[in-house]
Structure 1
Amino acid sequence: MAVALGPILKFCGVDDDDVWSVSALVVCGGGEPAPAVLVYDGDKWDAIGAVSLGERRQQKSGYTVWRYRFAIAQKAAQQEIRYTVGSVEYVFMVPPAGGAPTCAYTSCNGFSDAKLMKQVQDKNALWTTMRLRHGERPYHLLLMGGDQIYSDSMWQELRGLKTWAGLSGRERNAAPFPDELRAQVDGFFLENYLERWSQPEVAAMMASVPTVMMWDDHDIFDGWGSYPAEQQASPVYQGIYAIARAYFQLFQLHANAATPPLPLLPNQPGFSYGLRVGGYAILALDLRSERSKTTVMGAAAWHAAYAWLDKQKNCDHLLVMSSIPVVHPDFSTLETLLCALPGRQELEDDLQDHWLSRSHRQERLRLIHRLLDWSAGTGGRVTVLSGDVHVGAVGVIQAQRRDVPANANVINQLTSSGIVHPAPPAMALFYLEHVGARVETVDRGITATMFEFPGTSHRYIGARNFLSLEPDLPQQSAEKRIWANWWVEGEDLPYTKTIHVVK
Structure 2
Amino acid sequence: MTTLNVKTGPMLRYDTVDLNQYIYHAFAMIVTEDATSDYSITPNMQLRWQKATALSAATADGSTTVSEDNSSKQSQAIKLYQYHGAQGSFTFWRFKIEIPLADHELAVHYSIDGEAHPTSQSEAIKGMTGHTFFLPAKSQNFRWAGHSCNGFSASVDESDFNGPNPLWDDLLKAHASKPYHALIGGGDQIYCDKLVREPEMQDWNNQTDSKKRMAHPLTDEIRNCIDRYMFNHYCEWFGGGSFAKTIAQVPMINMLDDHDLIDGFGTYPDELMRAPVFNHVGSRGYFFFLLFQLFINDEIDGVSETSHPNRSMIIGGNGEYIPFRNHSLLAYLGPKQWILLADCRSERKIDQICSKPTYQRLFDAVRNLPPGVEHLIILLGVPLAYPRMVFLERALSSSINPFVMLAKGLSPGFTNNFNGQVELLDDLGDHWCAGPHKHERNWLVERVQEISLEKHLRVSYISGDVHAAGVGVFFGYHQHDPSLDPKYSLAVITSAIVNTPPPPAVISMLNKLASKKHRSLFYCGTKETMVPLFETDLEGKAQKDKYIIGARNWCSVEYHQETAELEFDIRVEKVRGGGETKSYAVKAPAPRWDIAKQHHHLLHSKNFDKEISMLTGQPIAN
2:433 aligned residue: 356
In 2, Cα distance between the equivalents of 1:129 and 1:350? 29
Change (3 A) 1:496 1:402: closer
Confirm whether residue 319 of structure 1 aligns to residue 377 of structure 2. yes
- C-alpha contact (below 8 Å) 2:32/2:90 kept by paired residues: yes
Structure 1 portions without partners, runs of 5+ = none
TM-score relative to the length of structure 2: 0.76
In 2, Cα distance between the equivalents of 1:347 and 1:40? 50
Q: The residue matched to 1:430 in structure 2 has which SS?
A: helix
Q: How does 1:343-492 map to 2 (within 5 A)?
A: 349-400=426-477, 406-443=484-521, 444=523, 445-453=525-533, 455-456=535-536, 458-472=546-560, 474=561, 477=562, 479-490=563-574, 491-492=580-581
Change (3 A) 1:402 1:332: closer
1:163 is aligned with what amino acid?
D
1:494 is aligned with what amino acid?
S
177-186 vs 269-278, greater mean Cα deviation? 269-278
2:179 is aligned with what amino acid?
P
1:328 to 363, 379, 386: 386
Change (3 A) 1:401 1:74: farther
1:355 is aligned with what amino acid?
W
Confirm whether residue 161 of structure 1 aligns to residue 201 of structure 2. yes
In 2, Cα distance between the equivalents of 1:59 and 1:422? 34
State the Cα distance separating 1:235 from its structure 2 match. Answer: 1.0
Change (3 A) 1:121 1:433: same
Confirm whether residue 103 of structure 1 aligns to residue 169 of structure 2. no
- C-alpha contact (below 8 Å) 1:25/1:68 kept by paired residues: yes
In 1, Cα distance between the equivalents of 2:155 and 2:535? 36
State the Cα distance separating 1:370 from its structure 2 match. Answer: 1.3
1:10 to 8, 13, 25: 13
State the Cα distance separating 1:129 from its structure 2 match. Answer: 0.2
1:198 aligned residue: 239
- C-alpha contact (below 8 Å) 1:381/1:407 kept by paired residues: no
1:413 is aligned with what amino acid?
A
2:226 is aligned with what amino acid?
V
The percentage of aligned residue pairs carrying the same residue is 27
In 2, Cα distance between the equivalents of 1:409 and 1:332? 25
1:77 to 97, 101, 104: 104
1:49 aligned residue: 76
In 2, Cα distance between the equivalents of 1:371 and 1:299? 14
In 1, Cα distance between the equivalents of 2:348 and 2:365? 21
State the Cα distance separating 1:174 from its structure 2 match. Answer: 2.3
- C-alpha contact (below 8 Å) 1:283/1:320 kept by paired residues: yes
Confirm whether residue 187 of structure 1 aligns to residue 264 of structure 2. no
2:118 aligned residue: none
Confirm whether residue 493 of structure 1 aligns to residue 582 of structure 2. yes
* Cα deviation code 1:417-473 (max 9, x no counterpart): 00000100111011011111011113222122111106545111210000010112x
Confirm whether residue 307 of structure 1 aligns to residue 385 of structure 2. no
Change (3 A) 1:265 1:61: same
TM-score relative to the length of structure 1: 0.94
- C-alpha contact (below 8 Å) 1:9/1:24 kept by paired residues: yes
In 1, Cα distance between the equivalents of 2:86 and 2:582? 46
- C-alpha contact (below 8 Å) 1:400/1:409 kept by paired residues: no
Change (3 A) 1:348 1:123: farther
Confirm whether residue 38 of structure 1 aligns to residue 50 of structure 2. no
In 1, Cα distance between the equivalents of 2:567 and 2:28? 29
Change (3 A) 1:92 1:419: same
107-116 vs 12-21, greater mean Cα deviation? 107-116
In 1, Cα distance between the equivalents of 2:470 and 2:483? 25
In 1, Cα distance between the equivalents of 2:218 and 2:452? 47
193-202 vs 331-340, greater mean Cα deviation? 331-340
2:313 to 264, 285, 291: 264
Change (3 A) 1:305 1:44: closer
Change (3 A) 1:402 1:498: closer
State the Cα distance separating 1:171 from its structure 2 match. Answer: 2.0
State the Cα distance separating 1:192 from its structure 2 match. Answer: 0.8
80-89 vs 205-214, greater mean Cα deviation? 80-89
* Cα deviation code 1:377-405 (max 9, x no counterpart): 22211000100000010000112379996
Runs ≥4 residues deviating over 4 A: 335-340, 342-349, 401-405
In 2, Cα distance between the equivalents of 1:297 and 1:51? 33
2:329 aligned residue: 273
Change (3 A) 1:174 1:180: same
RMSD: 2.2
- C-alpha contact (below 8 Å) 1:274/1:281 kept by paired residues: yes
* Cα deviation code 1:131-158 (max 9, x no counterpart): 00001111101000100110001112x1
* Cα deviation code 1:300-355 (max 9, x no counterpart): 21111111122224211000000000000111234549989x99888655223111
170-179 vs 493-502, greater mean Cα deviation? 170-179
Structure 2 portions without partners, runs of 5+ = 51-69, 114-127, 303-307, 318-324, 397-402, 416-422, 537-542, 575-579, 593-622
In 1, Cα distance between the equivalents of 2:463 and 2:250? 20
Change (3 A) 1:465 1:402: closer
In 2, Cα distance between the equivalents of 1:468 and 1:186? 35
In 2, Cα distance between the equivalents of 1:22 and 1:49? 14
In 1, Cα distance between the equivalents of 2:529 and 2:478? 17
In 1, Cα distance between the equivalents of 2:503 and 2:495? 14
Change (3 A) 1:179 1:273: same
In 2, Cα distance between the equivalents of 1:59 and 1:234? 26
Q: How many residues align?
A: 497
In 2, Cα distance between the equivalents of 1:271 and 1:97? 28
1:496 is aligned with what amino acid?
A
State the Cα distance separating 1:47 from its structure 2 match. Answer: 2.2
